[in-house]
Amino acid sequence: MAGASALEALATGLNERQRAYLVAAYDEDQAREVTHRGPGGPPARTWRWIEYGPVGAKWLDGPGSRLLRAKLAESGLVSQGTGATWASLVERGLLTTKYEHTGLIDTRSHRAIQSLLVRLTTDGRKVARILRGESPTRPRSKEPKALSLS
Protein backbone atom coordinates (compact mmCIF):
# COMPACT_ATOMS: atom_id res chain seq x y z
CA MET A 1 0.00 0.00 0.00
CA ALA A 2 1.20 3.44 -0.89
CA GLY A 3 1.76 6.27 1.58
CA ALA A 4 -0.35 9.42 1.71
CA SER A 5 1.95 11.47 -0.55
CA ALA A 6 2.15 8.63 -3.09
CA LEU A 7 -1.66 8.37 -3.10
CA GLU A 8 -1.95 12.13 -3.69
CA ALA A 9 0.52 11.83 -6.57
CA LEU A 10 -1.50 8.98 -8.07
CA ALA A 11 -4.70 11.02 -7.80
CA THR A 12 -3.22 14.12 -9.43
CA GLY A 13 -1.57 12.02 -12.16
CA LEU A 14 -4.89 10.70 -13.46
CA ASN A 15 -6.57 12.38 -16.39
CA GLU A 16 -10.25 13.36 -16.28
CA ARG A 17 -11.45 10.15 -17.92
CA GLN A 18 -9.41 7.92 -15.60
CA ARG A 19 -10.75 9.83 -12.61
CA ALA A 20 -14.33 9.39 -13.81
CA TYR A 21 -13.87 5.63 -14.29
CA LEU A 22 -12.24 5.19 -10.90
CA VAL A 23 -14.89 7.23 -9.07
CA ALA A 24 -17.74 5.42 -10.88
CA ALA A 25 -16.27 2.06 -9.86
CA TYR A 26 -15.78 3.34 -6.30
CA ASP A 27 -19.39 4.55 -6.06
CA GLU A 28 -20.63 1.12 -7.14
CA ASP A 29 -18.21 -0.58 -4.73
CA GLN A 30 -19.51 1.50 -1.83
CA ALA A 31 -23.15 0.88 -2.74
CA ARG A 32 -22.43 -2.85 -2.71
CA GLU A 33 -20.66 -2.58 0.62
CA VAL A 34 -23.76 -1.04 2.19
CA THR A 35 -25.89 -3.84 0.74
CA HIS A 36 -23.62 -6.68 1.88
CA ARG A 37 -22.41 -5.29 5.22
CA GLY A 38 -23.16 -7.19 8.40
CA PRO A 39 -23.29 -10.76 9.58
CA GLY A 40 -24.40 -13.40 7.12
CA GLY A 41 -23.43 -11.40 4.03
CA PRO A 42 -21.33 -12.85 1.23
CA PRO A 43 -17.56 -12.39 1.44
CA ALA A 44 -16.13 -9.21 -0.06
CA ARG A 45 -13.98 -11.26 -2.46
CA THR A 46 -17.17 -12.08 -4.37
CA TRP A 47 -19.21 -8.88 -4.29
CA ARG A 48 -16.29 -6.50 -4.87
CA TRP A 49 -16.10 -7.68 -8.51
CA ILE A 50 -18.13 -5.12 -10.46
CA GLU A 51 -19.38 -5.97 -13.92
CA TYR A 52 -18.41 -3.27 -16.38
CA GLY A 53 -20.23 -5.05 -19.15
CA PRO A 54 -19.80 -6.89 -22.40
CA VAL A 55 -16.80 -6.30 -24.55
CA GLY A 56 -17.71 -5.30 -28.11
CA ALA A 57 -21.46 -5.90 -27.71
CA LYS A 58 -23.07 -2.55 -26.94
CA TRP A 59 -26.59 -3.86 -27.47
CA LEU A 60 -26.45 -5.85 -24.19
CA ASP A 61 -26.28 -2.77 -21.98
CA GLY A 62 -29.14 -0.60 -23.14
CA PRO A 63 -31.28 1.85 -21.17
CA GLY A 64 -31.96 0.80 -17.60
CA SER A 65 -28.92 -1.47 -17.46
CA ARG A 66 -27.28 -1.80 -14.07
CA LEU A 67 -23.87 -2.39 -15.60
CA LEU A 68 -21.07 0.04 -14.86
CA ARG A 69 -20.65 0.51 -18.61
CA ALA A 70 -24.17 1.92 -18.90
CA LYS A 71 -23.52 4.39 -16.09
CA LEU A 72 -20.34 5.61 -17.79
CA ALA A 73 -22.09 5.75 -21.17
CA GLU A 74 -24.64 8.18 -19.71
CA SER A 75 -21.73 10.58 -19.19
CA GLY A 76 -20.43 9.99 -22.72
CA LEU A 77 -17.34 8.17 -21.45
CA VAL A 78 -17.57 4.89 -23.36
CA SER A 79 -15.57 4.68 -26.56
CA GLN A 80 -12.74 2.74 -28.16
CA GLY A 81 -10.41 4.20 -25.50
CA THR A 82 -12.21 2.40 -22.70
CA GLY A 83 -9.84 -0.57 -22.66
CA ALA A 84 -6.83 1.71 -22.41
CA THR A 85 -8.47 3.61 -19.55
CA TRP A 86 -9.04 0.44 -17.52
CA ALA A 87 -5.52 -0.77 -18.39
CA SER A 88 -3.96 2.46 -17.13
CA LEU A 89 -5.78 2.09 -13.80
CA VAL A 90 -4.56 -1.51 -13.55
CA GLU A 91 -0.96 -0.40 -14.30
CA ARG A 92 -1.16 2.10 -11.45
CA GLY A 93 -2.33 -0.62 -9.05
CA LEU A 94 -5.74 0.99 -8.51
CA LEU A 95 -7.81 -1.95 -9.70
CA THR A 96 -7.68 -5.44 -11.18
CA THR A 97 -9.72 -6.85 -14.05
CA LYS A 98 -10.91 -10.19 -15.33
CA TYR A 99 -13.18 -11.44 -18.08
CA GLU A 100 -16.08 -13.86 -17.77
CA HIS A 101 -18.09 -15.53 -20.51
CA THR A 102 -21.67 -14.35 -20.75
CA GLY A 103 -22.89 -17.53 -22.43
CA LEU A 104 -23.99 -15.44 -25.42
CA ILE A 105 -22.67 -15.43 -28.98
CA ASP A 106 -22.25 -12.33 -31.14
CA THR A 107 -24.33 -13.12 -34.23
CA ARG A 108 -22.11 -10.99 -36.47
CA SER A 109 -18.72 -12.41 -35.52
CA HIS A 110 -19.96 -15.76 -34.14
CA ARG A 111 -17.66 -15.30 -31.14
CA ALA A 112 -18.49 -15.70 -27.48
CA ILE A 113 -19.30 -12.41 -25.77
CA GLN A 114 -17.18 -11.75 -22.73
CA SER A 115 -17.94 -9.34 -19.92
CA LEU A 116 -15.28 -7.28 -18.18
CA LEU A 117 -15.27 -7.21 -14.39
CA VAL A 118 -13.26 -4.73 -12.31
CA ARG A 119 -12.27 -4.75 -8.64
CA LEU A 120 -10.76 -1.80 -6.82
CA THR A 121 -7.63 -2.38 -4.80
CA THR A 122 -7.25 -0.85 -1.34
CA ASP A 123 -5.15 1.92 -2.90
CA GLY A 124 -7.80 2.37 -5.58
CA ARG A 125 -10.46 3.00 -2.95
CA LYS A 126 -8.14 5.45 -1.15
CA VAL A 127 -7.36 7.38 -4.34
CA ALA A 128 -11.08 7.52 -5.19
CA ARG A 129 -11.78 8.99 -1.75
CA ILE A 130 -9.06 11.62 -2.36
CA LEU A 131 -10.69 12.47 -5.71
CA ARG A 132 -14.01 12.91 -3.91
CA GLY A 133 -12.38 15.28 -1.41
CA GLU A 134 -12.59 12.80 1.45
CA SER A 135 -9.94 11.41 3.75
CA PRO A 136 -8.13 8.50 2.08
CA THR A 137 -8.54 6.40 5.23
CA ARG A 138 -11.89 5.79 6.76
CA PRO A 139 -12.36 6.70 10.41
CA ARG A 140 -12.83 3.60 12.51
CA SER A 141 -16.25 3.17 14.07
CA LYS A 142 -16.33 3.54 17.86
CA GLU A 143 -19.36 1.28 18.07
CA PRO A 144 -18.70 -2.16 19.58
CA LYS A 145 -18.87 -4.98 17.07
CA ALA A 146 -21.27 -7.87 17.46
CA LEU A 147 -19.78 -11.01 18.96
CA SER A 148 -19.38 -14.04 16.77
CA LEU A 149 -21.78 -16.91 17.36
CA SER A 150 -18.93 -19.38 17.02
* % of the chain residues with pLDDT over 70: 83
In whole angstroms, what is the distance from residue 134 CA to residue 132 CA? 6
Neighbouring-strand partners of residue 115: 54, 100
Task: Round to the nearest angstrom and report the end-to-end CA distance of the chain.
Answer: 32
Q: What is the mean pLDDT of the chain?
A: 83
Q: What angle do CA 76, 53, 73 make, to 5 degrees?
A: 10
What is the C-alpha R_g of the chain?
17
Domain segments of the chain as ranges: 4-131
In whole angstroms, what is the distance from residue 49 CA to residue 126 CA? 17
User: SS3 of 64, please?
Assistant: coil
pTM of the model: 0.80
**Per-residue DSSP letter, 139:** P
- The pLDDT value given to residue 16: 93
Q: pLDDT class for 145, splitting at 50, 70, 90? A: low
Neighbouring-strand partners of residue 101: 114
**Is the CATH number 1.10.10 carried by domain 4-131?**
yes
Question: Is the pLDDT reported for residue 10 higher than 70?
Answer: yes
Element (H, E) at 61: none
- The pLDDT value given to residue 92: 97
Nearest to 127, CA basis, from 96, 95, 98, 97: 95
